[in-house]
Chain A
Amino acid sequence: MSKSTDERHALEPELTAKLKQQSEQLVESVHAGDYSRAMAMISELAEVRNQGLYHEVGRLTRSLHEARRNFQIDPRNPEQQEALSKMTDASDRLEYVVKMTGEAANRTMDLVEESMPVARHLQDEAQDLHQQWQRLRRRDMEPTEFRELHARMDQFLVALSTDAGKLYGNLSEVLLAQDYQDLTGQVIQNVITLVRKVEDNLVSLVVMAGHVDQLTGTVHQIEDNQPSAEQGVGPQIMPEQRKDVLSGQDDVDDLLSSLGF
């Protein structure tokens, strides 16, 4: 890994050969006391450096053009720039995913909230009728009560059929409400492909820019912009592979009880 990085960051062999040769000649001239030749060598060395720099800046510019073309941004029309940018498209697509998943969740919850009282009512009625039925079996029932039970049983069987049909219909709709997964899955796959492409292009731009940095001797101070744990960082992906993340409620409970909870 580090070897391939070194190779990518290496300057052109032609350039390094010239640099070596001329710096040796420079040292020789200084030792021999030939200062005017030494000065001429220094200016030639600067020339080699500048040429290398122009070459790398040229390459960097070409790569930038290339990258911009890959992202399909048309620079000639500033208004269309945004509209044509695939990145903007990606954000829209992700917003569509948020919308679709939100709608599906709400649709599902609507149906569940509608079904739960139906099921609860059937349960209550069945329990009550069962008690009455047992009284009948024990022959512990007045004839008027029996006539009442008879009528109620009839109503219950009709309601049971209607309500079960209602529950079945709601469950089918819950099933259908999950169809977002197919659509959002495809959208997310597309966005993943785009992000990978952007990352690849950025990596090659960074390599190019690294050559320019080498020629100009620039060292960057890169700040580490980690999201703050106090604000919250959201769900952890693959917690089992990370030591600083707990992988479930049991781990959380263990940690809290070790803290005296």
Chain B
Amino acid sequence: MDKNMKILIVDDFSTMRRIIKNLLRDLGFTNTDEADDGNTAMPMLKTGKYDFLVTDWNMPGMSGFDLLKNVRADDQLKTLPILMVTAEAKRDQIVAAAQAGVNGYIIKPFTAAVLKEKIEKIFERIQ
């Protein structure tokens, strides 16, 4: 796993973005950017050459689920690994996210160990 990979963190709460950014830094990933919803994230993804996307689900503007669908529908972005970190815990939602092509799903509140495990799993499967 390339520790220098470029990661976009999308969450409407700056505190949560900061927590994820800190946890990623502890795991050795320091090349991170932030966006506060899907509408802000989409243009960044299109121009920024990101290697990994970590997104919340429930956000004003474009939700994380719509962001997931938009990324999978975009020819250039469709293979981008996506990890959802969200409070959404309904069975139907998780099934929908899986069908839409999410690579990992973490429900809040979560631990640093879970984040590490899921990221490792995602990149193990890709390589």
Question: What is A's interface to B at a CB cutoff of 8 Å?
Answer: 102, 105-106, 109, 112-113, 229-236, 239, 244-249, 252, 255-256, 259, 261
Contacts and interface: CB of A to CB of B under 8 A. Distances in A.
Interface in B52-97: 57-59, 63-66, 86-96
A188 to B, nearest CB: 18
A256 B94 contact: yes
Contacts of B27: none
B114 interface: yes
A233 B58 contact: yes
Interface residues of B, number: 31
Given A231-B63, A235-B108, A247-B89, 16 more contacts: A102-B14, A106-B15, A109-B19, A230-B96, A231-B65, A232-B63, A232-B86, A233-B58, A236-B87, A236-B90, A244-B90, A245-B89, A246-B91, A255-B91, A256-B98, A261-B98
A229 B22 contact: no
A251 B59 CA distance: 24
Contacts of B13: 102
A247 B89 CA distance: 7
A89 B59 CA distance: 25
Contacts of A247: 89
Q: Identify the interface centre among B59, B96, B107: most chain A CB within 10 Å of its CB.
A: B107
Q: Which 3 A-B pairs have the closest CB atoms?
A: A232-B58, A235-B87, A105-B15
Q: Identify the interface centre among B66, B105, B106: most chain A CB within 10 Å of its CB.
A: B105
A232 B96 CA distance: 12
Nearest to A255: B94
A59 B110 CA distance: 53
A229 B94 CA distance: 10
Contacts of B93: 229, 232
Contacts of A256: 94, 98, 105
Given A109-B15, A109-B19, A255-B94, A232 B57 contact: yes
Contacts, number: 78
Given A231-B63, A239-B89, A252-B105, A113 B22 contact: yes
A230 B63 contact: yes
Contacts of B58: 231-234
A145 B107 CA distance: 54
A113 B59 CA distance: 27
A249 B15 contact: no
B68 to A, nearest CB: 11
Contacts of A235: 87, 89, 108
Contacts of B19: 109
A230 B92 CA distance: 10
B18 interface: yes
A161 B80 CA distance: 48
Contacts of B95: 255, 259
A249 B114 CA distance: 8
B105 to A, nearest CB: 6
B122 to A, nearest CB: 10
A232 B65 contact: yes
A212 B13 CA distance: 46
Contacts of A231: 58, 63, 65
Interface string B22-56: 10000000000000000000000000000000000
B91 A248 contact: no
B39 to A, nearest CB: 13
